[in-house]
Chain A
């Protein structure tokens, strides 16, 4: 049972345009949602997160939107740059006690930004 789904295995956009990466989840108990970026031969790196009590969080070119009623979140990258080409993982976190969270990741979406 996959609780976090990234239904698009890949996405290709032109440099300067907007990239929109989507993620759906099934468990309404998730407290936080995170996005990680992974380059080949490197580990994933944290990008941005959003609390379940918010609907938007912005950090520079990256904005995450959360629609709780639809159990859907998206990552917008504007403008997209060739260096953004990577695999993007969506993750959902549930509190497992105190300040400890257990993360569930999606399968990832490969973003390719063409010059």
Chain B
């Protein structure tokens, strides 16, 4: 079955602009989590959505927002872009709420959207 699909794969924006990233989870998966990966900070949790509701949130400013649609697809938006927002944004899906162990609730990641802010 198809994996987690993220679009666009690469994009370049300038400071002050806003950006929207899209994530299509594995068919049947209802939870979508977003992470930011930078060389200096590693993988940092942004938020998790399940059944169109935000269930968990990381320590990012309000410029970072997300939403989930009824078909479980998710989007994240970053407004008023800053140079420090340049990163790889990873989306991960799981059958139920993000879990642990080796079952279907373990996160399956997409390849990411690489954002460069100039």
Q: Which residues of A contact B (CB under 8 A)?
A: 6, 31-32, 34, 36, 41-46, 48-49, 51, 89, 91, 93, 96, 98-108
Contacts and interface: CB of A to CB of B under 8 A. Distances in A.
Contact of B106 (A46, A105, A108): A46
B42 A32 contact: no
A42 B102 CA distance: 20
B107 interface: yes
Most chain B CB within a 10 A radius of its CB, from A31, A46, A101, A105: A101
B110 A43 contact: yes
Contacts of A89: 42-43
B98 A105 contact: no
Counting from the closest, the 6 A-B pairs by CB-CB distance are A43-B109, A107-B42, A105-B43, A100-B97, A32-B100, A46-B106
Given A31-B100, A34-B106, A100-B97, 12 more contacts: A32-B100, A34-B100, A44-B109, A45-B108, A46-B108, A49-B100, A51-B100, A96-B55, A100-B55, A101-B97, A103-B107, A106-B42
B101 A49 contact: yes
A96 B33 CA distance: 14
26 contacts: A32-B100, A32-B101, A41-B111, A43-B110, A43-B111, A44-B109, A45-B108, A46-B102, A49-B101, A89-B42, A96-B56, A98-B97, A99-B96, A99-B97, A99-B99, A100-B48, A100-B97, A101-B98, A102-B98, A103-B98, A103-B107, A105-B35, A105-B45, A106-B42, A107-B41, A107-B42
Contacts of A108: 42-43
Chain A residues touching B, majority SS: strand
B92 interface: yes
Interface string B15-44: 000000000000000000001000011111
